[in-house]
């Protein structure tokens, strides 16, 4: 795979471990760590929940696409994407062209357990269990374009990284 060495791009639902795994991967490989959500917050000068509240999800998704496009021009990066970054076809195509795409998955129960204490997730307003299950249902095929899928439900972040590195170095 010629693009394998360019970037490693982590996709997946919120709560699957993208932020933690990407940080460890970047350290292990000596790659630059880029978190798309952090990039957006710096660019917009406010936290994502405020951005959602003040400008709406469609505005956020456009900024997300623009940020992804800019970031993926770089190389030797570990890129942690937002859970919904895969919703637009142009983003999926861009990710496939720019690197090796890894989808992190987890069971609904694992995700609910991981995100239930975090009130900074605008898409989880209301009943968290119901929202997580609905989002999982809506996005059930959205991550299928990935080169590799890793279920993080029963694995520590370090175990996920070891698994990814084993596949990456093949």
- Interval 22-46: pLDDT, tens: 999 999 999 999 999 999 999 999 9
Q: Is residue 61 annotated as involved in ligand binding?
A: yes
Domain boundaries, the chain: 2-168
- Helix (H) or strand (E) holding 70, with range, is helix 57-71
Q: Percent of the chain scored above 90 by pLDDT? A: 66
State the average pLDDT over residues 76-84: 93
pTM: 0.88
Strands (E), the chain: 7-12, 32-35, 77-80, 100-105, 148-151
- pLDDT given at position 2: 36
Residues 107-138 have pLDDT tens digits of 988 988 877 765 555 555 557 788 888 888 88
Lowest model confidence (mean pLDDT) among 92-101, 134-143, 158-167: 134-143
* Token reading at 53: 């509240």
Q: Which 3 state secondary structure label does DSSP give 115?
A: helix
In this predicted structure, what is the pLDDT of residue 78? Answer: 97
121 is in an annotated binding site: yes
Which top CATH class is 2-168? alpha beta
pLDDT at 124: 55
Residue listed under structure tokens 């095929």: 141
Q: Which residue has the higher pLDDT, 139 or 117?
A: 139
Q: Please state the rounded mean pLDDT for residues 140-146.
A: 91
Q: State yes or no: 18 annotated in a binding site.
A: yes
Please give the structure tokens belonging to residue 74.
């770089």
- Tell me whether residue 67 is annotated as binding: no
| pLDDT grade for 169, boundaries at 50, 70 and 90 | confident
- For range 90-103, the mean pLDDT: 95
The answer to whether the annotation marks 20 as part of a ligand binding site is yes
Closest to 63 in 3D by CA, of 84, 44, 87: 44
**Residue 131 marked ligand-binding:** no
Rounded Cα distance, 14 and 111, in Å = 7
82 marked as binding residue: no
Q: Which residue has better confidence, 91 or 83?
A: 91
- Mean local confidence (pLDDT), 129-152: 89
């Amino acid at each position: 795979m010629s693009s394998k060495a360019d970037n490693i791009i982590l996709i997946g639902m919120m709560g699957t471990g993208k932020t933690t795994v990407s940080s460890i991967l970047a350290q292990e490989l000596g790659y630059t760590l880029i978190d798309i959500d952090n990039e957006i917050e710096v660019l917009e000068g406010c936290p994502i929940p405020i951005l959602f509240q003040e400008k709406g999800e469609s505005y956020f998704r456009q900024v997300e696409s623009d940020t992804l496009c800019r970031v993926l021009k770089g190389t030797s990066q570990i890129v942690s994407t937002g859970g919904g970054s895969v919703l637009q076809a142009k983003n999926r195509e861009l990710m496939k062209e720019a690197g090796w795409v890894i989808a992190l998955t987890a069971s609904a129960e694992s995700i609910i357990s991981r995100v239930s204490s975090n009130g900074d997730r605008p898409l989880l307003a209301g009943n968290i269990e119901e929202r997580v299950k609905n989002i999982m249902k809506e996005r059930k095929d959205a991550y299928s374009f990935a080169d590799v899928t890793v279920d993080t439900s029963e694995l520590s972040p370090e175990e996920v990284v070891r698994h990814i590195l084993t596949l990456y170095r093949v």
